[in-house]
Chains A and B, each alone.
Chain A
Amino acid sequence: MNKKIYVLTTFAALSVGLISCKKDFLNKLPISQGTVGNYYKTASDAEGGLIGAYQQAFLTDQYWVWDYTTNGDARADNCFAGGDNPDNFGIDNFTPTPLNGNVTRDWQGLYQDIYAANTVIDKVPQIPATSFSGNRQQEIISEAKFIRALSYFQLVTTYGAVPLVTSTIAGKFQPTPSRTAVTAVYAQIEKDLTDGEGVLPASFPNVGHATKGAVQALLAKVYAQEGKYQQCLDYCNKVIAGPYALVPDYKTLFDGTKNTTESIFEIQHSDASSFTTYNVSLYLPEIFGTYSFKKFNIPTNDLTSLFKSQNDNIRLNASIYTATVDVNGQAAGDPVPPPYTDKSPTVPFLYKWKTNISQFGGGTDNTILLRLADIILLKAEALNQLGQTLAAIPLVNQIRTRVHLPGITVTSKDDVALAILNERRMELAFEGQRWNDLLRFGSDYTINLMKAQVDPFGKALNYGINQNKLIFPVPLNEIQLDGNLTQNPGY
């Protein structure tokens, strides 16, 4: 009998012992995938997290591939939607619904960029400062804040008041934030950028990072959009005093040359498959080796006419390529993109990104988000708005001289304002600037201008634009996921 009790005791002890002594038996972490909880422990993790934020914002998100051009130029008078996508038509025609795919995608993409930035901003301060060399810890946070500010700037100009979320929340049921007033969103943007201004260096050994100049240039643009022209002027001056210079030949900006002296911040691409961009395959005609389909963001006659009326062949040829299209369904070339029809054997195509190495997604040219010419013209605008019209004119002419155009002849504040607007239209066509430029010029002006738009054959397009349509609706999908989100009026 004793033997049995021994055996029992041994077995019981063995079984209970083996199981309970392994305290972490139930704690299993993913083996083949990193986790947020495990990461962000070292300086190199911090760099890795920042790379993740850059990739999310500038490679993963479609916003900076082509949506910003659709919203900034096709919504305005620089492009027709082209293509065959009802979502793009909706944006072009001022009939975007809360279900519009682009409207949804842009909101989601920009908030995904913000989330990636917020993760860095939350996690990197928890890493001991001694792990970093020099001021790198603060620089990393400031770069993330640049991405966050850039994204909120797009959101607030595109949707109006948006939820202001500045940290990541793990676990529990995720909260449902309300919309934050436009001014408060701008205040956060300004804070993120001014925080970074004192931290970031003028340049990095490896180009591609957000620098002090990038922060200042973005601040200038933010202040301008807020109507704070004095601060705008101050920051334009800071940028202009920085290490930037206009390239002598405008063409250089859009011929595949990367990171020129004029560039303040640009998205880095290369011919490696993970780093190409696909905007070229949506824009360039088939003869550039793209798939044959109806291409998008087709330049308007109005824009072409402006170039031509100014004899601005340099910028016209750098921006637009006119190619033969397949009018009868039998010849080579792309099918005719709307609103062109079979009556148009040739159609203009958007041509600021040119290098293409494969049928789809083969673009290798960088995408410039901030450059000196933009800031010089913005400074002119600020000066003019602040009543220093005469000081503004030489800045406009500086930009015109580069493309061998004569100086402007007008001198009144209003005329100069219009001249600056037109100059920016030609200089920055398809760079996503036009819509915000128009809004700064005035919403009535914008509405009237858009109401007067015609198709390539001179027929009125009768856009149903009104004050409400100057911003997008809030995506229905997000309203449904967040009961505290309200819809914009008119949608």
Chain B
Amino acid sequence: MKRKITLLVVILLAQCSILLAQNNVTVKGTIKDERGTPFTGVTVTIKGTTNATAADVNGFYSISAPANSTLVYSFLGYDSKEELVNGRTEINVTLTPNVKQLESVVVIGYGSQKKKDITTAISTVSVKDVSQRPVVNTAEVLAGKAPGVQVFNASGAPGAGNLSVRIRGLSSPNGTEPVYVIDGVVVRSTESLDPNNIESISVLKDASAAGIYGSLGATNGVVLITTKKGVKGQAKVDINMYTGSQQIVKKLNLLNADQYKSLIADEYTNAGQSVPTLPSNFTANNNWQDLVYRKAPQSGINVGLSGGSDKGTFYLGLGAINQDGIIYGTNFKRYSINLNLEQAMKSWLTVGTNIAYNRSDGRTVNDNNSANHGGTVLSALYTPPIVPVFASNGLYQGNSDNSSNPLDDIYSNDNHYRKNSLLGNVHAEITLPFNIKYRSQFGISLNDYDNDAFTNPLTNQGASQVNGIGSSENNSTFRYTWDNTLTYSTVINQKHSITAVAGTSAIEEKYTDSYLYGTGFPAGVTTLNAASANKTISTFKTDYTVMSYFARVNYAYADKYLLAASIRADGSSRAGINNQWGYFPTVSAAWRISREDFLKDNAFIYDFKVRAGYGEVGNLPQTLYNSYSALNPAAYLFGGTSNSGYAPGNPLGNPDLKWETTKGINLGFDLSVLNDRLSLSADYYSKKTTDFIFPVTFNTAISGAANQGAYNLPGYVSNKGIELALTGRIVTGTSFSWTAGVNASFNKNVVNGIPQILDNSGNKVDQVFQFGGIAFGGNGNATNLTIVKNGLPLGSFYGYQYAGVDPANGNALYKTANGGTTATPANSDQTALGSGLPKAIYGFTNSLTYKNVSLDFLIDAVTGNKVFDATRVETEGMYISGNASTAVLKRWRNPGDITDVPAAVYGGTNSAGASTILPSSRFIENGAFLRLKSLSLSYNFKNSFFDKQGVKLRVYATAQNLFTITKYKGYYPEVNAFSSSSQSGSTLGSPSSTAIGIDYGTYPQTKIYTAGINVSF
């Protein structure tokens, strides 16, 4: 009906215009910008014609136009304005910039704020590239975009589940990750979300911003994610699909058969042992890396359906990803659905829901592990070329030391997982009298994970003797979050603007796990019902709760002076029962100098704001029941029968465990000039985490077997740094435009204040806590590669300073503490050898458009970080019967040889006790890199037919990791073997923040080429 009336009106108007067409009038006027200054150069066009004029230096224009025509006032970067002449002779116009960056709304936690009103360090991250890159995990979206935010992809395994995000360095030994908040719900992880459904991301970096989340891990910052919602009156379909191929970035050079045999002969001879005879079937010539790595396809599709009426909006997102891994046998698939509904029920009541569900499944191989323990990546390097794939008995052939070959690892171990993730919330917002809004939001997240593993009897591993080993693990994490907030906002006398929020929040999380194991399977059956022996079952459950009260006030005077203050009180079941509550205040202020009279009319400065903030946030370790001392099951024989009981063991309870507290200041400014074409933000921050919680070990005399617990150590971690972000719309022409952003951040991390201890001679020395243990060769005790010690960055590398090779005997030499060199260094000769933490990170984003063609690229770089290439201990250690890299061709062979690669010695230690495989600077490398993270070329189909139909069509081709400039010798410098705590030796779990930057047979990174289409209508 409406449409008919509109049509009628249009027809009537058209007839009128024909009648009045000849009646021209001269229209004059002045054009001003949004501050009232005269606007030069604005184009004034008569709509539907090419007749136009431009405003002069005083913003004055004059044009002759039909009395019934429409004038269009336009200037690049400003919203065009249309005025119906309607017989007028004077029309004055004010234009406003179309880039409303300052007015754009930023989510800040339990509310939102206009960008211009922000007083703290918050970065907003553009997500538009998600539609033209194969982005699997939300964290990938953040990479390179915001200063102080480092996104670290620990491996190239499909599913990108190993991403870590570090905001402003490492603040705590207990975890590196920020808190994620999706649509207002604090969630455990972002894995339930398809990144295509993200509308916006803001990152709360400093304590004064993050303090509103108090203790929920906000020591490491907060990432706020808002998902796409429907827009009133716009029914819209967006489709994005792509397909592509991934490949290994590079392969390593290994010895060929002859070189390998010569190495083994050297190893045994130098160890004073007879050279073993190789098995007669060791005559193959396998390049194991070629047998393990492949080009792997990846494709994805996402469909977004959205719309809305006056009363309600909806958004439905559907997505699917199918990604094979570059190691044979590995893959990842995900199907996801997002549904967001918002409905105004009454004038005072709005209700809504956000639901995200996905199911993913995949097949994995063992990595970050030695060849002897089935680590596929190391096995591909370790297994000699002469080893055949199969032995004559039909089983996979292992190396002479019985370690399995990589194809055995891949195909004998069938390791499948499935995940079901559900994230949902329902919320209601009630408008109350006195400008008060009440919002209640109940969110749940449910993450179910199950894993089946079966090692078939074809393997040369233990499973062949027991007719197969099967295991099955199921776990489920359920969490609910209930937030209630009251928001009051008012403006008094048009000068004083006040927004106040107060609320409560409750979180409860429950975890259950069950594990089944069995051996002895009939041929062809892999499920555990068929297991005939060694059946093992285990289940366990955990839970924890958090209860919070919080309040925040934002005050602005005349848009010039801005003040914010907040307080949060958090109680957690994970804190010591005597110190359950932590209180986290923040205060911040900003001054928009550009609003002062003396700058108001400045044509150059568009906006200038200085900011200062102080805040405190808290953190607790992942361990749950820190107050309680554990009992371990025990049994003893009395009268020949087993009696069961309990004995105290670790962890030792600490009812006084306090929150780790990070206190930080932030000073910064935001400057934008030339009508916001160029903007610069700079921040200085200094933060200090005190009372840090550490798995402290006590003297055994007092604590017995219960000598480890989570205690606050009187030490601290400090991070100081500078962040710069420069954004510019460099070229803004109609056919060509170029927008670029560059950001750089510098961070200095140091641990200090840990009490000293006495050494054996009674001298005070710094305590050393060691982490990052690797059992090289898969045998014996783990060697720790990192430490926490006063004066060094958290988790620095620790070991011996390599001093080359003794030409006389081929011994590896190490520097001693007093400056000499020795082949047999003492423990006290160990020293700090650098850190995996970068000193600087850089990002450079670019978007160039020429007519219908766009080129987008993202470059990122890190400098100042080291990588402990522990893979090279295996490939250049020359102490085992495995293959080695071609670097060992330079090894010492005869007295007088000058080289930096020592002699090959089987076992690693010669008869004189000289070791070639001590953790030393020999294996530590510069981890700096600069890479073209993504490069995307797209073409927009624009024509009148599409315009009429409201169709947008774009095709694109994208390359990720196209090139990486680095000196790193391993697969890829962005690597982290300890991204999960599975290799931990401590009963409390090795916190991954204390062992970063170690490469040990980690699934290599990939280079990805994709092509895709975006359609919307």
Contacts and interface: CB of A to CB of B under 8 A. Distances in A.
A176 B699 contact: yes
27 contacts: A4-B432, A8-B430, A11-B484, A19-B482, A19-B504, A25-B508, A26-B547, A34-B646, A35-B625, A51-B634, A51-B643, A52-B631, A55-B647, A60-B705, A171-B654, A174-B652, A175-B702, A177-B699, A206-B638, A207-B638, A207-B640, A268-B636, A476-B759, A480-B757, A480-B767, A482-B699, A485-B699
Contact of A48 (B274, B646, B760): B646
A344 to B, nearest CB: 19
A61 to B, nearest CB: 9
A368 interface: no
Interface in A446-491: 476, 478-483, 485-487, 491
A481 B713 CA distance: 13
A255 to B, nearest CB: 17
Given A28-B543, A481-B699, A51 B645 contact: yes
A421 interface: no
B12 interface: no
A50 B639 contact: no
A310 to B, nearest CB: 36
A171 B653 contact: yes
Contacts of A169: 702
Contact of A15 (B504, B508, B542, B577): B504
Contact of A29 (B430, B440, B625, B703): B625
Contact of A56 (B643, B647, B697): B647
A170 B705 CA distance: 13
B1 interface: no
Interface in B423-468: 430-433, 438, 440
A33 interface: yes
A60 B641 CA distance: 18
Contacts of B704: 111-116, 118-119, 168
Contacts of B643: 47, 51
B653 A36 contact: yes
Given A25-B547, A37-B653, 8 more contacts: A4-B348, A15-B504, A19-B547, A30-B628, A34-B646, A36-B648, A59-B636, A171-B654
Nearest to B349: A7
B293 interface: no
Contacts of B703: 115, 174
A49 B506 contact: no
Interface in B692-728: 697-706, 711
Nearest to A53: B647
A58 B636 contact: yes
B519 to A, nearest CB: 15
Contact of B430 (A1, A7, A486): A7
A269 interface: yes
A130 interface: no
Given A30-B630, A31-B540, A171-B656, A52 B645 contact: yes
Contacts of A26: 545, 547, 571-573, 580
B727 to A, nearest CB: 42
A108 B704 CA distance: 7
Given A51-B635, A491-B760, A329 B711 contact: no
Most buried by B among A31, A165, A478: A31
Interface of A: 1, 4-5, 7-8, 11-12, 15-16, 19, 25-37, 39, 47-56, 58-60, 98-99, 107-108, 111-116, 118-119, 162-163, 165, 168-177, 204-209, 258, 268-270, 272, 274-275, 329, 476, 478-483, 485-487, 491
Contacts of B580: 26
Interface in B782-822: none
B624 interface: yes
B827 A99 contact: yes
Contacts of B544: 28
A33 B430 contact: no
Query: Interface range on chain B: under 10, 10 to 19, 20 to 34, or 35 or more?
Result: 35 or more
A111 B274 contact: no
What 10 A-B pairs are tightest by C-beta distance, nearest first?
A115-B704, A206-B639, A52-B647, A51-B645, A48-B645, A32-B540, A34-B631, A482-B699, A28-B573, A268-B637
Contacts of A60: 647, 705
B541 interface: yes
A4 B636 contact: no
B540 A478 contact: no
Contacts of B625: 28-30, 33, 35
B634 A55 contact: yes
Contact of B758 (A11, A107, A165, A479): A479
A34 B630 contact: yes
A172 B631 contact: no
B863 interface: no
Nearest to A56: B647
A268 B504 contact: no
A47 B440 CA distance: 52
B655 interface: yes
Contact of A275 (B430, B482, B637, B697): B637
Contacts of A48: 634, 644-646
B700 A116 contact: no
A146 B697 CA distance: 27
Nearest to B697: A481
A178 to B, nearest CB: 10
Contacts of A274: 635, 642
A11 B648 contact: no
Contacts of A172: 656
A208 B758 contact: no
Contact of A28 (B545, B641, B646): B545
A175 B652 CA distance: 14
Interface string B544-575: 11010000000000000000000000011100
A36 B629 contact: yes
B760 A478 contact: no
A15 B697 CA distance: 42
A173 B648 contact: no
Contacts of A5: 432-433
B638 A209 contact: yes
B630 A33 contact: yes
A478 B629 contact: no
B699 A174 contact: yes
A162 B678 CA distance: 72
Residue from B634, B652, B706 whose CB has the most chain A CB atoms within 10 Å: B634
A139 to B, nearest CB: 13
A208 B628 contact: no
A20 to B, nearest CB: 9
A28 B701 CA distance: 30
A52 B504 contact: no
B645 A50 contact: yes
A51 to B, nearest CB: 3
Nearest to B657: A171
Given A37-B653, A56-B647, A208-B637, A98 B702 contact: no
A39 B631 contact: yes
A171 B655 contact: yes
Contact of B640 (A36, A119, A268): A268
Contacts of A258: 640
B653 A173 contact: no
B542 A30 contact: yes
A116 B438 contact: no
Interface string B666-705: 0000000000000000000000000000000111111111
B260 to A, nearest CB: 23
Contacts of A118: 704
A7 B428 CA distance: 12
Nearest to A118: B704
B715 to A, nearest CB: 13
A243 B434 CA distance: 91
Contacts of B484: 11-12, 15-16
Nearest to B513: A32
Contacts of B629: 35-37, 170
A269 B643 CA distance: 13
B655 A170 contact: yes
